[in-house]
Amino acid sequence: MTIAFPPQTSSSPPGLQPEGWLRYLSFSLDHKVIGLQYMVAGFFFYLVGGALAGMIRVELVSPISDFISRETYNEVLTLHGTVMIFLWIVPVVNGAFGNYLIPFYVGARDMAFPRLNAVAFWLIPPAGFLLIASYFIAGAAQSGWTAYPPLSLTTPAAGQVVWILSVLLLGGSSIFGGINFIATVLKMRRPGLKLMQLPMYCWAMLGTSILVVLSTPVLAGTLVLLSFDIIAHTGFFNPALGGNAVVYQHLFWFYSHPAVYIMVLPAFGLVSEILPVHARKPLFGYTTMVYSILGIVFLGLIVWAHHMFTSATPPWMRLFFTIATAFIAVPTGIKFFNWLATLWGGKIALNSAMLFSCAFIIHFVFGGITGVALAQVPFDIHVHDTYFVVGHFHYVVYGGTVFVIFGSIYHWFPKFTGRMLNEDLGRFHFLITFIGFNLCFAPQHWLGLNGMPRRVAEYDPQFTLMNQISSVGALLMAVSTLPFLINVFWSAFSGRVAGDNPWNALTPEWLTSSPPPVENWKGEAPLVQHPYGYGVTPGQIDLGAATGREIWSSGQ
Amino acid sequence: MALVLTGLWIGQNVELLPVAASLNAPIYDQLFKVLFSIGSILFIGIFGLLLFSLIRFRRRDGETGDGAAVEGNLQLEIFWTAIPAIVVLFVGIYSYDIYDRMGGMVPLSDPHSMHGAAMAPQASDGSAGAVIQASVLGTPPEPSKRIWGGIGSGQISAGPALPVEVTALQFAFLFHYPQGDITSGELHVQKGQPVELRMEARDVIHAFWVPEFRLKQDIIPGQPTLLTFTPIKAGSYPIICAELCGPYHGGMRSTVVVHEPDEFATWFEKNNTATVAIAPSTSSTG
Ligand code: HEM
Ligand SMILES: [Cu+2]
Ligand SMILES: [Cu+2]
């Protein structure tokens, strides 16, 4: 491990890499630049996906299909799902925070493969624009983000093929990122830093990247076969040509169930970083947290068929996948109780980062409970493919992951820019997002239970009121991005100057200037063996200005 | 304690489901009540705990110190590994029992049970599973004629079943009654008599869903699928396609009319076009 500190490339010939803000538009190899590139690009696509969601909710204000044509509606819902998953959540919780934080956490000056890293990012904008352009040029795909054949074989081919191409590019980007994270966490650690001393986010990213590397290639292969079916009229998944449509579903969900953990495990990791800092307590139960991440990774790989309980799956298979799925609640439960214990007895700062993180806990517990219910075959056969499922996964994906992304931005913004975000605007942002979100998605559970299927442009008039409530919630959510955007732009230029470590945090990214220098630390990287060493031991006197136990030392 | 009672009260008294109109719907509703109660207890408990912590342990003005340096507590952690494990185990066993009572564990039928003599015993009593299994063992199904099953209600239906052939296509359901050679856009069935839907999809995947029956089954092209149920409450209920199937997916709906027995006979006679009329309620063929 002598290669851990290559002499910094700052001595490389000047002028090849742009300086200043232009760096963010360049093929930069700096993990911090790449992280922020992911973040900004991801947020752009979040706004696109949000506009699409807005179109859906406007259409559903009335029970008849009157706002956009039915074909357009299906294009919109397909694009919405694809954009939100592959261009917002996955790139941001993995790419943005992963790239920014992981090298700090392992005490390295960059990721293991900086060039691969830049390539991974630069696959995203073209893939995203390709996808969106397909809507304007040939008409986008219409078969949902799941693209089940035979429907995806019979809807207009051009849009579907572009969709496949775009998802393949994004999958490639995700795989490159995953390989990079695994290598960085395992091989780039500062000498003397043990795996079990890493901040929890590293473990989360390790687990996530394992899932990415194991399951994304399966999706890629499946989509290639699907494109053969569309272009070359092969019959892999086409029953009319002797193929089997259910096989596609198995292969698709073999990726796409792990994908939900690819979207949420990093969020678990981020929350594990935020809570101890703002509660001034060590992360409770580090070891069990690590094992539960590994448990989730393992179980996450063997539960995919819970998406297929009504697809003529044999009884034994339904039973197996019910049990495996329900058992994911065990490692997940451990993590939640550990977080609650982290908060218990702390000195909790009720700032925006903390509020978003706590809302995440509430929403995810709710979504987890509906998830365990959905795992029960007899329960699922009624609500599968209804708005109940839409409610479930928005509670975990939006109420969970997206809330964590916002909380993380409030937490790390001072690190990114050297300035604080405005807290009052932040709490206001939290309040309307929280109300809007719950107003939007809670009623959808009732809709599903009572007979509203998902992915429809028209519905039974008895559901009008609930849909309108839901749309009002969506409007609030849309409005809530305004205070956030104002806050970010205003604070970036004239926010309160943060200082290097405004939260008195102990994790390594705070033990350098804000924003950090290109080489992360002037001088040698600190060796942080107790990233959560907060707290006073009973009996110790609280010295007014305590910063927690400073157990890090620079150098060995 | 109060928490448990509140949760139970919510689970038992908050009505979120539409009317229960098939034999397996009340069974479903039992499961729903149990899940809802447990879910409420857990959710309110965790929500309360979090809210309490946020208020009780909030940082007050001027406070700059840290909390206690507690890094973990193995006993506590084992305790809260056990809670979800036990809950999940209980829920799993209970829902297995529910699934079994709905007839979900009856092995998928083979061509013989579809067309042959095995039909009648299947619908007759609680030994349905055994009978079908025997016929499967006796004659291995030809793969090409394999029939796929939804939740079979073999064990909970009584009397001979009314066979109906269902064709799902973009964007409608067609119902054909082989016994009377009736073709209809609506499904008419008789209260108390088991119905056996033999479903096929023409083009893409559709799904047959009747919320009041708590039943849903995908209809996949190339896979003839069997779905049995017994309606128990007269009335008209929506049939909804639940799998995205194209632009008019949202409009792919129909109605199932559950008649009182005499009413049904009238309807059947009126529409019967078969030369030999067979009153379905007394039918012995299958
Ligand atoms: C305790 C954990 C969870 C359990 C037991 C669970 C269970 C389930 C089940 C059984 C379904 C299938 C419902 C159906 O289609 O009929 C489902 C759907 C879904 N879940 Fe979860 N889930 C859990 C957590 C999550 C998480 C963490 C995410 C993402 C961050 C997630 C995202 C989704 C999505 C996106 C779908 C719908 C996919 C689709 O059909 O488009 N779930 N979940
Ligand atoms: Cu899943
Ligand atoms: Cu349909």
Q: What is the crossing angle of helices A286-300 and A245-279, to 10°? A: 170
Residue A118 lies in a domain: yes
- Residue A216 in any domain: the answer is yes
* SS3 state of residue B244: coil
For residue B55, the tally of other CB atoms under 10 A from its CB is 10
Chain A, 152-171: which have a CB under 8 Å from a chain B CB? Answer: 154-155
Q: β-pairing, B225-229 with B215-219?
A: unpaired
pLDDT at A205: 96
Protein residue whose Cα sits closest to atom 42 of ligand 1: A393
The alpha carbon of residue A526 and the mean position of all alpha carbons in its chain are separated, in whole angstroms, by 29
| DSSP summary character for residue B144 | G
| B93: contact with A, CB 8 A cutoff | no
Give A245's contacts in chain B (Cβ within 8 Å): 205, 220-222
Which tens digit of pLDDT belongs to each residue from A483-501? 999 999 999 988 898 888 8
Interface of B with A in 107-136 (CB under 8 A): 107-108
Beta carbon pairs, A and B, within 8 Å:
293
Q: What are the pLDDT digits (tens) for A502-520?
A: 898 888 899 888 889 888 8
Asked if A343 reaches chain B (Cβ–Cβ under 8 Å), the answer is: yes
Say whether residue B54 is in contact with chain A using an 8 A CB cutoff: yes
Joined tokens for residue B121: 């015993």
Residue A547's pLDDT is what? Answer: 40
Residue A77: alpha-carbon gap to chain centroid: 19
A228-231 CB contacts, 8 Å cutoff, 24+ apart: A229/A149, A229/A153, A230/A152, A230/A153, A230/A157, A230/A160, A230/A161, A230/A164, A231/A157, A231/A161
Q: How far is the CA of A392 from the centre of ligand 1 (A)?
A: 7
Per-residue pLDDT tens digits for A168-212: 999 999 999 999 999 999 999 988 888 999 999 999 999 999 999
- What number is the average pLDDT over the span A150-159? 91
Question: Cα(A449)–Cα(A428) distance, rounded to whole angstroms?
Answer: 33
Mutate to test the interface with B, among A241, A253, A275, A280 (most CBs of B within 10 A): A280
- Kindly report the pTM of this predicted structure: 0.89
Strand order in the sheet with B253-259: B187-190, B253-259, B235-241, B206-210, B215-219
B133-271 carries CATH number 2.60.40.420: yes
Confidence (pLDDT) at B274: 62
Residue A11's pLDDT band, with cuts at 50, 70 and 90, is very low
Outline where A156-284 has alpha helix (H). 157-187, 200-231, 245-279
- Spell out the residues 6+ positions from residue B277 whose beta carbon is closer than 8 angstroms to its own: B180, B269
With an 8 Å Cβ cutoff, is B222 touching chain A?
A: yes
The three-state DSSP-derived secondary structure of A444-460 is HHHHHHCCCECCCCCCC
Q: Using a 6 Å CB cutoff, which residues line ligand 1?
A: A 146, 260, 263-264, 306-307, 325, 328-329, 332, 368, 371-372, 374-375, 380, 384, 389, 392-393, 396-397, 400-401
Residues from chain A contacting residue B207 (CB–CB below 8 Å): 310, 385
- In this prediction, the residues of chain B whose per-residue pLDDT falls under 70 are 104-159, 274-286
Q: Strand B172-177 vs strand B162-169: parallel, antiparallel, or unpaired?
A: antiparallel
- List the 369-398 stretch of A: residues with Cβ below 8 A of B: 369-370, 372-373, 376-379, 381-382, 384-386
Cβ pair B244:A143 closer than 8 A: yes
Task: Please tell me the predicted confidence (pLDDT) of residue B84.
Answer: 86
Of all protein residues, the one whose alpha carbon is nearest to atom 23 of ligand 1 is A371
Contacts of A430 in chain B (CB under 8 A): none
Number of domains comprising chain A: 1
| Residue A313 φ then ψ, to 5° | -85, 140
Contact A536 B108 (CB under 8 A): no
For residue B271, the model assigns a pLDDT of: 84
Select from B57, B221, B242 the Cβ nearest to the Cβ of A385.
B242
Residue B256 pLDDT? 94
A308 CA to centre of ligand 2 in angstroms = 10
Question: Looking at the predicted structure, is the pLDDT value of residue A540 above 80?
Answer: no
- Dihedral of alpha carbons A451, A457, A463, A469, sign: positive
On the question of pLDDT at A244 being above 50, the answer is: yes
Tell me whether residue A5 is in a domain.
no
Per the DSSP assignment, residues forming a β-bridge with B196 are: B163, B228
3 state SS of B104: coil
For the residues A123-128, what does the mean pLDDT come to? 94
Is 50 exceeded by the pLDDT of residue A545? no
Whether B244 sits inside 8 A of A284 (CB atoms) is: no
Distance CA A264, CA A364 (A): 10
A128 falls within a domain: yes
Q: What is the pLDDT of residue B114?
A: 37
Tell me the nearest-neighbour CA distance from A264 into chain B, angstroms: 20
pLDDT of residue B134: 31
Q: What angle do CA A364, A366, A372 make, to 5 degrees?
A: 95
In a domain, A302, yes or no: yes
- pLDDT of residue A83 exceeding 90, the answer is yes
CA distance A101 to chain B (A): 23
Residues in chain A: 556
Does any CB of chain A come closer than 8 Å to the CB of residue B280? no
Domain that holds residue A334: 26-553
The mean pLDDT of chain A is 89
Three-class DSSP category at A155? coil
pLDDT digits (tens, 9 = 90+) for A106-115: 999 999 999 9
* Distance (Å, whole) CA A548 – CA A544: 11
The answer to whether B126 and B97 have CB atoms below 8 angstroms apart is: no
**CB contact, 8 Å: B17 with chain A?**
yes
Phi first, then psi: give them for residue A152, nearest 5 degrees. Answer: -70, -15
Does A383 fall in a domain? yes
| In-domain check, residue A20 | no
Given pLDDT bands bounded at 50, 70 and 90, which one contains residue A419?
very high
How remote is the CA of residue B241 from the centroid of ligand 3, in Å? 5
Q: Is B151 on the interface with A (CB under 8 A)?
A: yes
Q: Is residue A2 part of a domain?
A: no
- The residue count of chain B comes to 286
Q: A66 — contact with chain B (CB < 8 Å)? A: no
CB of B106 within 8 Å of any CB in chain A? Answer: yes
The phi and psi torsions of A449 (rounded to 5 degrees) equal -60, -30
Of all protein residues, the one whose alpha carbon is nearest to atom 1 of ligand 1 is: A368
Q: What is the DSSP letter of A399?
A: I
Q: Give the atom of ligand 1 at the shortest distance from the alpha carbon of A260.
A: 29
The complex scores an ipTM of 0.87
Q: Which of A74, A281, A376 sits opposite B66 (nearest CB)?
A: A281
Residues around the ion ligand 2 (C-beta < 5 A): A 257
Residue whose CA is closest, atom 28 of ligand 1? A260
A 23-42: CB under 8 A from B = none
CB-based contact A430:A352 (threshold 8 Å): yes
Per-residue pLDDT at A552 exceeds 50: no
CA distance A405 to A392: 19
Percent residues over pLDDT 70 in chain A: 92
For the domain that residue A181 is a member of, what is the CATH number? 1.20.210.10
Return the higher-pLDDT residue of A474 and B62. Answer: A474
Domain with CATH 2.60.40.420 in chain B: 133-271
Angstrom CA distances, A330 to A29, A64, A264, B32, B50, stand at 40, 43, 16, 21, 19
